[in-house]
Amino acid sequence: MTDPNPSPAVRTHERPPVYVVGGGPGGLAAAASLKAHGVRAVVLERSDRVGASWRGHYDRLHLHTTRRLSALPGLPIPRRFGRWVARDDVIRYLEKYAEYHDLEVVTGVEVTRIDAAPGGSGWLLHATGGRELTGTAVVVATGYNHTPRLPDWPGAATYTGTLLHASEYRNPAPYAGQDVLVVGVGNTGAEIAVDLIEGGAARVRLAVRTAPHIVRRSTLGWPAQLTGILCRRLPVPLVDRLAVPLGKLSVPDLSSRGLPRPDTGLYARVREGSIPVQDVGLIDAVRTGKVEPVAAVASFDGTEVVLADDTRITPDAVIAATGYRQGLEDLVGHLGVLDPATGRPLPHGPRTLPAAPGLFFQGYSNPISGMFREMALDATRIAKALAKR
């Protein structure tokens, strides 16, 4: 570990480092790429270990992108981890990655605010313990899934059943024999629903607000990620037209089971931030009636959950797979670098805003081509941009 606040004697002889805020895959990739380009980078991680967000994910989770296309710069993911890398192996890889590249990682330090440094050159980071750190540049990589988002449902505060966000879900053991409602049919909600039914839950319903696009994770050995990479630069209307017949060939019509085909284009939805659901068992679970799609949640009333079609149900537990916020407002919201509507950074990757030169953001998109892959590419681009400075 490295002291993020070197002594004044050292400071007079060394140029301040680039600080990387966050020790997840995006932050580690940025730090390794900067080091490879001759730029000193210090990673500041608020937890006691790298990969903190991955340690908190549910047990069943695997990367939905292939091992070969998910490696970070400078170190392949070991073949023994298999094609679809499990959560614990992702954590092992991140630990090895920091060790292999001999990265300067300081744990237990949370950056709470970033300001322009006095004199207008570089950035001043305010951190726990009263620390004030000056860096030539900053790469913010605190994670796409940072702050759990739980809708403000009427009556939720007095609901007498169990209500939790998906970030608190680990495995199906506590729900064996129970009636469970999963809210949200993104990749997380879909996988938790399947995990529950395979793990012994008595009944699993899946509350759906908008019918999702579902794609096979792999078809005849061809991963959906490769299709996403090939389609990413094509015109949206063209991809949407091509996706319709392909979807009908690969995914059965589940309308009779309460999960109709979407009426909007696949890639148009991606551009709005909605990634297709990669099937890891949902199709068969819905087709066989093991997972029951129902209407969206409207409110709670004592022991009951009221759905948008006025149906009332009484599950033992409600697991809300309702997404995350990036939680950047306190950190950089005063700098004019966030989208007011979404809270996500306006600049991305190697781009910065003229009003905030040297302030980079890494890992705040959810691309169809794979998040790990894009973080790896952006890390190299950021490093090149900073090396030129």
pLDDT digits (tens, 9 = 90+) for 200-233: 999 999 999 999 999 999 988 889 899 889 888 8
Q: Which CATH number belongs to the domain containing residue 336 in this structure? A: 3.50.50.60
Residue 332, pLDDT score: 97
Considering 300, 320, 340, which residue would you say is the last residue of a domain?
320
pLDDT range class, residue 75, cuts 50, 70, 90 = very high
Domain span including residue 90: 8-146+326-388
Residue 12, pLDDT score: 34
Query: Contact, 103 vs 35, CB < 8 A?
Result: yes
Residue 2 lies in a domain: no
- pLDDT digit string, tens, across residues 80-96: 999 999 999 999 999 99
Residue 93 lies in a domain: yes
pTM for the structure as a whole: 0.91
Task: List all residues 6 or more positions away from 14 whose beta carbon is below 8 Å from its beta carbon.
Answer: 6, 40
DSSP state at residue 324: E
Nearest to 217 by CA among 8, 70, 62: 62
Considering 286, 320, 354, which residue would you say is the last residue of a domain?
320
Judgement on whether residues 183 and 297 belong to the same structural domain of the protein: yes
Judgement on whether residues 226 and 301 belong to the same structural domain of the protein: yes
Query: Contact, 37 vs 43, CB < 8 A?
Result: no
Judged by phi (left if over 0) then psi (alpha if -120 to 50, else beta), residue 68 lies in alpha
Residue 169 lies in a domain: yes
Residue 3 lies in a domain: no
Residue 166 lies in a domain: yes
Q: Is beta strand 297-301 parallel, antiparallel or unpaired with respect to 304-307?
A: antiparallel
Considering 320, 335, 370, which residue would you say is the last residue of a domain?
320
- pLDDT digit string, tens, across residues 93-104: 999 999 999 999
Domain count, the chain: 2
Residue 300, pLDDT score: 98
Judgement on whether residues 154 and 296 belong to the same structural domain of the protein: yes
Query: Contact, 111 vs 27, CB < 8 A?
Result: no
Judgement on whether residues 267 and 348 belong to the same structural domain of the protein: no
